Structure 1
Amino acid sequence: MQVFIMRHGDAALDAASDSVRPLTPCGCDESRLMANWLKGQTVE
């Protein structure tokens, strides 16, 4: 069995709470890269 553990992409520092913090441009890129990598993984 494989388990993938990952964190969210880089988020902005200035927000009222974590639930409303937007991703930075770098965080958006990181998320896209991870999504593309996950698409290539085999899930049983």
Structure 2
Amino acid sequence: MTEAQVEDAAARLFEAERERRQIRLLSLDFPQATMDDAYRVQAALV
């Protein structure tokens, strides 16, 4: 994932938590994502 995609995924998760709503699976929008990418998204949320 590019840095922009990581930031986009983190923003989606942040907004979903803030609004207490479910979102589409990120793996459907970013099928190329690896475990390392997932950790990068997680780090962007912290």
**TM-score, normalised by the number of residues in structure 1:** 0.41
Q: Provide the TM-score with structure 2 as the length reference.
A: 0.39
Q: Which has the higher contact order (CA 8 A, sep 6+)?
A: 2
Q: Which is helix-richer, 1 or 2?
A: 2
